[in-house]
Amino acid sequence: MKKLLSIIVLLTTIVTLNSCYRGRHTIIAYRNNNNEVKVEYLGTITFDPNFTHIISISNGGYLKYNNDDRKIYAENGNNHQIVYKLNNGDKTTELNEEGKSLLSEAIKMIAKQQGRIK
């Protein structure tokens, strides 16, 4: 009976840990002339060939980008649309020019770190 209980506890733990796993978590950060830049992402994110926008984000995945006081957050929303939050504002599926610029900066930072661009 003790052995059975131990097996049940072990299986429950494994299932719990597997269900919490949402993919690879990466943080890239640097400071340059009093300017702090940080990009953080979780899960699988697919970019367009020009590295300017997001095509898809896996369920539970996200991208966060901070460049001093400018911020953008992207996640997978309903119907597999990308949902953005710019400078802690409201959520939207469409970005203005500032949002597009920030997103492009973040994507290029990731692509450079991955060796996909110079």
Q: What is the pLDDT of residues 57-102, one digit of tens each?
A: 999 999 999 998 899 999 998 888 999 999 989 999 999 999 999 9
What pLDDT, on the 0 to 100 scale, is given for residue 7? Answer: 54
Classify 87 as helix, strand or coil: coil
> How many domains does the chain divide into?
1
- Per DSSP, the residues of 48-117 read -TTSSSEEEE-TT-EEEEEETTEEEEEEE-GGG-EEEEETT--EESS--HHHHHHHHHHHHHHHHHTTS-
Query: Is there a domain that residue 73 lies in?
Result: yes
Query: Is there a domain that residue 88 lies in?
Result: yes
- Measure the CA angle with vertex 13, ends 9 and 18; round to 5°: 150
Query: Quick one: tokens of 47?
Result: 């970019």
Calculate what percentage of the chain has a pLDDT beyond 90: 64
Query: Is there a domain that residue 64 lies in?
Result: yes
Query: Quick one: tokens of 66?
Result: 């901070």
Query: Is there a domain that residue 2 lies in?
Result: no
Domain that holds residue 62: 24-113
What pLDDT, on the 0 to 100 scale, is given for residue 80? Answer: 81
User: What is the reported pTM?
Assistant: 0.77
